[in-house]
Amino acid sequence: MISIQRFTFNPVRENTYVLYDETGECAIIDPGMYDGEEQNILARFIKETKLKPVILLNTHCHYDHVFGNKFVYDTWGLKPQFHKGELFVLQAIPGYVPQMGLHYELSPEPEVFLQETGKVKFGNSELDLIFAPGHSPAHLCFYAAADNFLVGGDVLFYSSIGRTDLPGGNHMQLINSIKNNLFILPDDCEVFPGHGQPTTIGFEKQHNPFLQ
């Protein structure tokens, strides 16, 4: 069984997730730690829970989801894994983030790219890859089928959806990704988004104003 711990980091309140099971191995997803204080919060949790980070995953490569990639690499030696269609998004960050008044530590680039489908594994657990572009060009979500929850990044939010006005965004593509790739999951599947509170697939089918 996978346990999930959520942290909310950085100036745009991004959700960073640590997934771990009974083996003590864990996956870090979308590390958004912006400063030393936030880095310490994550490192302390991993140390006190006696976890061993074995994989670093990015749903997509907007700045707020990769702020902590370099810290994770420096601390645990993990390079990020994401879909290769996000690489140019990662490479663009140094060109715009300083203009926002933010500092950015350069993320390492992947040695392993993820595909549109397949699985990633840690400990005794596995996550299914779900390709859901639209908010960004090659966004992936991670579905824990055995535990019926989704780490959804910036695709589907509580009563909302990801913005599509950023480079590589496409509104109709996002709507199609949600309806065709996420709404096929069980109604009681819990969705842990990149911002804000968790929700469920069934609730969003019924109530999300963008998807009626």
Query: pTM higher than 0.85, yes or no?
Result: yes
Residue 111 lies in a domain: yes
pLDDT digits (tens, 9 = 90+) for 66-108: 999 999 999 999 999 999 999 999 999 999 999 999 999 999 9
CA pseudo-torsion sign 205, 83, 13, 188? positive
At 120, which CATH number? Answer: 3.60.15.10
- Which structural domain, as residue segments, surrounds residue 88? 3-207
Residue 203 lies in a domain: yes
Residue 212 lies in a domain: no
Closest CA to 27 of 66, 6, 54, 51: 54
With a CB cutoff of 8 Å and minimum separation 6, the contacts of 131 are 83, 116, 117, 138, 139, 140, 177, 181
Distance CA 91, CA 56 (A): 18
Number of domains in the chain: 1
At 22 the pLDDT is: 98
Whether the pLDDT of residue 116 is over 90: the answer is: yes
pLDDT digits (tens, 9 = 90+) for 128-184: 999 999 999 999 999 999 999 999 999 999 999 999 998 889 999 999 999 999 999
Distance CA 125, CA 143 (A): 11
CA pseudo-torsion sign 42, 52, 21, 54? positive
In contact, 56 and 79? CB cutoff 8 Å:
yes
At 166 the pLDDT is: 87
Q: Are strands 25-29 and 156-157 parallel, antiparallel or unpaired?
A: unpaired
Residue 196 lies in a domain: yes
At 182 the pLDDT is: 98
At 63 the pLDDT is: 97
Mean pLDDT score across all residues of the chain: 97
Residue 57 lies in a domain: yes
Six token digits for residue 123: 């400990």
At 211 the pLDDT is: 96
Distance CA 119, CA 111 (A): 17
In contact, 169 and 136? CB cutoff 8 Å:
yes
pLDDT digits (tens, 9 = 90+) for 27-64: 999 999 999 999 999 999 999 999 999 999 999 999 99
